[in-house]
């Protein structure tokens, strides 16, 4: 009888004692003993049979002496480590950071001393609320954590794609996370904030209102990691060789521009491809389209901090770019995926406390708490104080210390001395000149538990953010609030939230209240500080206002049918590739179709598995007969109807009109529908796609 005749491609298999290898086409061929590495136990012992446990007779009981089986199962039983409490679902990549110019005037951090120097990095993107198995397009904050392997130790810039946070003091962090996680009595909803506990906490926490505007905006459903910003969130300090301090805020800006999806699209993407963001990053790097961001710094002194309208130590506030323009100081490029997801992405340990000499902390109370919490959590997740021995966490510069022993110690001090000071002249010593020195800021005051009055304005910047959005983005915020609050069963919580919204924008509050069926508006929430209405809108806060002017890095989905025009398809593909975008073919069957000229068109997706939500724009290259057949398929009609409803640009051949009409789309509805029969139409279509969306269509669709 054959043994294990269904191995994965490229793996040895034993059939009737013959050693075989399955080739790329699935065929089996015999291999010699020396052609592959010999399988061993973890102790290095060669393994004779990895297919069967040791038994007494063919059908007898298994023997406990089978050490290979016991080792293999022992390791398998312990392969899982506790997932992160927050940011559990993450994806990472390796790359480098290149410094543009010396910043020695501001900091003695080695990474910023020499123009053109490249520093290795590892970056992990994540969602906050969901578990490891949740979907990518949850409405959520995205983690944007960067580990710089500098020549003076690791620097972890642990940030998010949103520059503010829900709370002002770290003592409230367990509460906000408990509230947003699945409710403990029922263990749902997963990766969602649309439930009573979250909105109960938020409605009782006015300091969260600015963050809520961001999370209900399109920033919380980015199209890709590659198209989102990152922020250090807190105010840090740069300290130069003269021990002079400059305050700094860190901002990452994507070279490909910002882009998000709409909520209806996000819901459908999660069904079609719950790994959408992971796949996007993987495919881009494997194709050599390396994602890139620019690091920008907002630099300011104590005088500016004292004159600014809000407290720079308040993590629920920003400094608008129009008030303090960011300065680009370097670029981040991701060019290599991990060799093993668990070893690197899952085991990487980020900590805000990891800063090199020349970068220091401010008294932001949320940052102060994070500096304690991040170190504390590594022991639980990674099982040992020696988590820095794991390669992804180890510095790439020389390091010397007397720490020893402990679970899973891979390195211990060499020699008789494991302490200092010692009189043997052995081991490393501290260096007042080279070592980390905290900025010597003068502090005084009583021990108190209170919130600074300068932290008390909870609505003004929330109002500024809302006023800075374009009309479509404001509609999306209103729709997001309506959806989330519609899932809240407790009426009093909904009313409290609308009462807060009245302090941000009355029109927004009225829209949400109306959609929730409230017969009358609640009383405006009390404000510790009256909201200001004199803050100028900040165009930098709008995604649409800061979108790209090209289709570079985007993806085009082309639906084809038997009899499609192969010449036109090749012309379209050439134009897309010239633009720096990717084209993927969708067909009735995944194998592809025969074109009008008899050539074969290979497909990437079948229509049921390649919905238009996976693409930034679509084209229909169909024969009339093919369009009529597809018009009878729900998946094909949805492909067109969704692309139209999501305000995407659509190109089509005249033969495609039966499918358009059956999907309820008028071929002449607006300028976002472009017929490809004109010789100049392909260029026109690509130029139109650079806008990414035709937002003027949104009001007509009323999605």
Residue 52 appears among annotated catalytic residues: no
CA neighbor of 458 nearest in space, from 215, 264, 168: 168
Tell me which of 87, 458, 476, 605 is the catalytic residue: 87
Lookup: tokens for 460: 């003004």
Question: What tokens appear for 472 in the block?
Answer: 């479509």
Kindly give, in sequence order, each residue whose CB lies less than 8 Å from that of residue 76, ignoring residues fewer than 6 positions away.
Answer: none
User: What SS3 class is residue 171?
Assistant: helix
DSSP code for 287: T
Tokens of 47: 């393994």
Give backbone dihedrals phi and psi of 353, rounded to 5 degrees, phi first.
Answer: -70, -15
Per DSSP, the residues of 401-434 read -----STT------SS--SSS-TT--S----TTT
Tokens of 121: 């990095």
Residue 559 neighbours by CB under 8 Å, 6+ apart: 586, 587, 607, 618, 619, 620, 621, 622, 630, 636, 639
Q: How many residues does the chain have?
A: 703
- Please check whether residue 127 is in contact with residue 191, taking contact to mean a CB–CB distance below 8 angstroms: yes
78 is an active site residue: no
Print the SS3 string covering 576-630: HHHHCCEEEEEECCCCCEECCCCCEECCCEECCCCCHHHCCEEEEECCHHHHHHH
514-542 core/surface letters (b: 16 or more CB in 10 A; e: else): eebebeebbeebebeeebeeebebbebbb
Look up residue 203 and give its two tokens. Answer: 């409605």
Name the region of 543 (left: φ>0; alpha: ψ -120 to 50; beta: rest). Answer: alpha
Task: Mention every residue, 6+ apart, whose C-beta is less than 8 A from residue 240.
Answer: 104, 105, 106, 107, 108, 246, 358
Q: Are 516 and 194 in contact (CB under 8 A)?
A: no
CA distance 522 to 492: 10
Q: CA Rg, the chain, in Å?
A: 29
Q: List the catalytic residue out of 68, 94, 154, 160.
A: 160
Q: Which residues are catalytic?
A: 87, 160
């Amino acid at each position: 009888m054959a043994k294990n005749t269904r191995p994965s491609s490229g793996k040895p298999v034993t059939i009737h004692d013959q050693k075989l290898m399955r080739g790329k086409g699935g065929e089996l061929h015999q291999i010699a003993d020396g052609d592959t590495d010999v399988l061993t136990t973890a102790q290095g012992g060669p393994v004779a049979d990895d297919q069967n446990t040791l038994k007494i007779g063919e059908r007898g009981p298994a023997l406990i002496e089978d050490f290979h089986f016991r080792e293999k199962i022992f390791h398998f039983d312990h392969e899982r480590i506790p997932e992160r409490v927050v940011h559990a679902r993450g994806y990472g990549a390796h790359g480098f950071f290149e410094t543009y110019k010396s910043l020695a005037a501001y900091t003695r951090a080695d990474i910023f001393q020499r123009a053109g120097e490249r520093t290795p990095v590892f970056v992990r993107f994540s969602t906050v609320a969901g578990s490891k198995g949740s979907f990518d397009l949850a409405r959520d904050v995205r983690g944007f954590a960067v580990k710089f392997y500098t020549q003076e130790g690791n620097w972890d810039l642990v940030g998010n794609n949103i520059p503010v946070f829900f709370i002002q003091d770290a003592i409230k962090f367990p509460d906000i996370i408990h509230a947003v996680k699945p409710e403990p009595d029922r263990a749902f909803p997963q990766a969602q904030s649309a439930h009573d506990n979250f909105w109960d906490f938020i409605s009782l926490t006015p300091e969260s209102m600015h963050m809520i505007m961001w999370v209900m905006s399109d920033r919380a459903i980015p199209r890709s990691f590659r198209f989102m910003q990152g922020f250090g969130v807190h105010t840090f300090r740069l300290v130069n060789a003269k021990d002079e301090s400059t305050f700094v805020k860190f901002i990452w800006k994507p070279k490909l521009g910002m882009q998000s999806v709409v909520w209806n699209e996000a819901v459908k993407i999660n069904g079609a491809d719950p790994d959408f963001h992971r796949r996007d990053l993987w495919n881009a790097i494997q194709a050599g389209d390396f994602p890139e961001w620019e690091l920008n710094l907002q630099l300011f002194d104590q005088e500016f901090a004292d004159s600014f309208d809000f407290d720079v130590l308040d993590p629920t506030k920003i400094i608008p770019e129009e008030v303090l323009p960011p300065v680009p100081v370097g670029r981040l490029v991701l060019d290599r995926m991990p060799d093993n997801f668990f070893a690197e992405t899952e085991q990487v340990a980020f900590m805000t406390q990891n800063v090199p000499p020349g970068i220091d902390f401010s008294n932001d109370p949320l940052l102060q708490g994070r500096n304690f919490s991040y170190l504390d959590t590594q022991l639980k997740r990674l099982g040992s104080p020696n988590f820095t021995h794991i390669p992804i966490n180890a510095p790439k510069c020389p390091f010397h210390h007397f720490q020893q022993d402990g679970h899973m110690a891979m390195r211990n001090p060499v020699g008789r001395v494991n302490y200092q000071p010692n009189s043997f002249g052995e081991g490393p010593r501290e260096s007042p000149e080279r070592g980390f020195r905290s900025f010597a800021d003068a502090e005084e005051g009583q021990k108190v538990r209170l919130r600074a009055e300068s932290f008390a304005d909870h609505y003004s910047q929330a109002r500024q953010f809302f006023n800075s959005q374009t009309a479509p983005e404001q509609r999306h915020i209103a729709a997001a609030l309506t959806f989330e609050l519609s899932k809240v069963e407790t009426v009093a919580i909904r009313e409290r939230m609308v009462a807060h919204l009245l302090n941000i924008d009355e029109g927004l509050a009225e829209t949400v209240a109306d959609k929730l069926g409230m017969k009358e508006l609640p009383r405006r929430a009390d404000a510790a500080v009256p909201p200001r209405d004199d803050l100028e809108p900040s165009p930098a806060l709008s995604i649409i206002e800061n979108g790209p002017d090209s289709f570079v890095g985007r993806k085009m989905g082309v639906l084809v049918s038997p009899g499609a025009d192969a010449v036109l398809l090749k012309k379209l593909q050439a134009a897309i590739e010239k633009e720096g975008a990717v084209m993927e073919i969708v067909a009735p069957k995944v194998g592809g179709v025969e074109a009008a000229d008899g050539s074969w068109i290979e497909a990437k997706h079948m229509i049921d598995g390649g919905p238009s939500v996976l693409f930034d724009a679509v084209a229909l290259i169909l024969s009339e007969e093919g369009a009529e057949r597809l018009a009878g398929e729900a998946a094909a009609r949805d492909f067109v109807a969704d692309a139209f409803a999501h305000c995407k640009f659509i190109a089509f051949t005249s033969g495609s009109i039966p499918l358009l009409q059956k999907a309820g789309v008028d071929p002449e509805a607006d300028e976002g529908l472009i017929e490809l029969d004109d010789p100049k139409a392909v260029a026109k279509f690509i130029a139109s796609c650079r806008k990414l969306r035709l937002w003027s269509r949104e009001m007509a669709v009323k999605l």
